[in-house]
Structure formats: structure tokens, C-alpha cells
């Protein structure tokens, strides 16, 4: 997609304080755990923030990956000034990075596959399916609550200020009872208790179940 056609480029110098003000207005308890990534990502004045309009609706999926145009334009961060609604999957397949995405509102999506990018949602994260966060290069910060079928963290830094209102499945726990066998690499390790991110990702794209018991109570409420 042509990200640059979606918004306006602003300088890091102009936007650092603007972004921290947005965080301060919405995140009341621990804004510092959000602000640290503003300083880290916008560490040079020649970097840019792509500012996109509020209340955007995307029919289908949305890929959060580096493109030649974003790199050439020095875009380090993409800001949506209000809610973002993606009917399909918001995907960041690269485990090594991607542009930082900030949503100054609620993020609604059909599913979320997040690798190495930084994702800061200042409102609620509401996902009809599963939220997958994989690998320690990436970060998830949510100022509100998370509502989903499940929030799965495979060695990723996750902080949710408003509470996780769904099963939280952490890679350090034994997840065999919570997830289907097909989410594990049982061929190579029959005793595996940590799911395989690639297998989860494949099942997400195929619309196949990931949880053993995706009960209505565990699902995100319809919007």
C-alpha cells in the first residue's frame, strides 16, 4: 500500500512533544513506559512521523512493514490521530522490526500478528480473533484494555494499563492445554509446551482455530 498517500509528513523535532502530550492525556498511570519508545525511535531530527487522519476504516488487511517509500522518506513512526478500524488482519510479519505505529484512540482489528515493530495503542485494543506478539525486538503498549479471543506473548514486551480482558497466554507457561496441537512443532519435539509462532501465523491466515476452547466468553465483543 502507499502509506505516504494516507497522511502528512512531520519532523521528529515537531512531533516528539506532540506525541508525549497525547500519551500524557490518555495514559494516567505509567506514561513513561510509552514515552521511552518516542525517544528511542525519534532519536534524530531528520526522522519523520507520518500523521494520518482520525477514525480511519480499512476494509481487509493492513500490513505494518518497511517499504521503499517509507525508508526513502525517513519515516520512523506512523500516527493515527484517532481510532483505527481494520476489518481484516493487522500484520507485522517481520520479527526484526517495522515502523512504529501509534493509535491515538482505539484499535479494532479482525486479528493482530505483531512481530518486531513497536505498537502503541493509547485507547483500547479490540480484536475479533487472536492477538499474537512474537519475539523480543517488538513491543506492545496499550493504554486501555485488551479484548480478544486471547493475547499470546511469545517472548515479547507487553504492557496493558487498562487490563487484559481475555486469556493471556505467555510463552514461559505450559500452553499445551490452551492451544491446539497444530500450534506446536510436535514432529521435532513431542514434549513441546511452547507454541511455534510460524504455525500460529499460518493458522491465523487460514482461519483455523488456535485455541482449544474458543468460548464466546473469551471472544472480543462485537462492535
Q: Which residues of 80-96 are buried (b: 16+ CB within 10 A; e: fewer)?
A: bbebbbbeebbbbbbbe
Q: How confident is the model at residue 223 (pLDDT cuts 50, 70, 90)?
A: very low
| CA–CA dist 221, 28 (Å, integer) | 25
Domain assignment present for residue 104? The answer is yes
Q: How confident is the model at residue 214 (pLDDT cuts 50, 70, 90)?
A: low
Residue 151, all three cell numbers: 493475547
| Mean pLDDT score, 39-46 | 95
| Mean pLDDT score, 172-195 | 94
* Pair 13, 39: CB distance under 8 Å: no
Comparing 4-13, 117-126, 207-216, which segment has the lowest mean pLDDT? 207-216
Domain assignment present for residue 210? The answer is no
Domain assignment present for residue 212? The answer is no
| Mean pLDDT score, 100-112 | 98
Which residues, including other chains, have CB under 8 Å from residue 187's CB and lie 6 or more apart?
A: none
Domain assignment present for residue 131? The answer is yes
Domain assignment present for residue 199? The answer is no
SS3 at position 71: helix
pTM over 0.75: yes
Nearest to 106 by CA among 90, 91, 94, 117: 90
Domain assignment present for residue 10? The answer is yes
Number of domains in the chain: 1
| CA–CA dist 150, 183 (Å, integer) | 14
Amino acid at each position: 500500500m502507499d502509506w505516504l498517500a494516507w497522511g502528512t509528513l512531520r519532523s521528529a523535532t515537531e512531533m516528539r512533544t506532540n506525541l508525549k502530550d497525547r500519551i500524557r492525556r490518555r495514559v494516567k498511570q505509567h506514561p513513561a513506559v510509552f514515552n521511552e519508545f518516542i525517544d528511542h525511535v525519534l532519536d534524530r531530527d531528520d526522522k519523520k512521523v507520518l500523521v494520518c487522519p482520525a477514525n480511519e476504516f480499512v476494509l481487509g488487511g493492513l500490513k505494518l512493514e518497511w517499504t521503499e517509500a517509507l525508508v526513502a522518506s525517513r519515516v520512523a513512526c506512523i500516527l493515527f490521530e484517532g481510532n483505527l478500524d481494520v476489518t481484516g488482519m493487522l500484520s507485522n510479519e517481520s520479527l526484526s522490526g517495522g515502523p512504529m505505529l501509534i493509535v491515538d484512540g482505539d484499535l479494532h482489528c479482525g486479528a493482530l500478528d505483531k512481530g518486531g515493530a513497536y505498537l502503541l495503542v493509547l485507547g483500547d485494543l479490540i480484536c475479533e480473533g487472536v492477538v499474537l506478539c512474537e519475539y523480543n525486538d517488538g513491543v506492545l503498549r496499550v493504554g486501555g484494555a485488551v479484548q480478544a479471543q486471547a493475547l499470546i506473548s511469545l517472548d515479547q514486551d507487553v504492557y496493558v494499563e487498562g487490563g487484559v480482558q481475555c486469556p493471556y497466554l505467555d510463552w514461559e507457561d505450559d500452553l499445551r492445554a490452551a492451544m491446539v496441537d497444530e500450534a506446536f512443532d510436535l514432529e521435532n519435539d513431542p514434549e513441546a509446551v511452547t507454541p511455534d509462532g510460524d504455525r500460529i501465523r499460518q493458522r491465523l491466515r487460514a482461519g483455523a482455530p488456535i485455541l482449544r476452547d474458543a468460548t464466546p466468553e473469551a471472544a472480543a465483543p462485537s462492535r
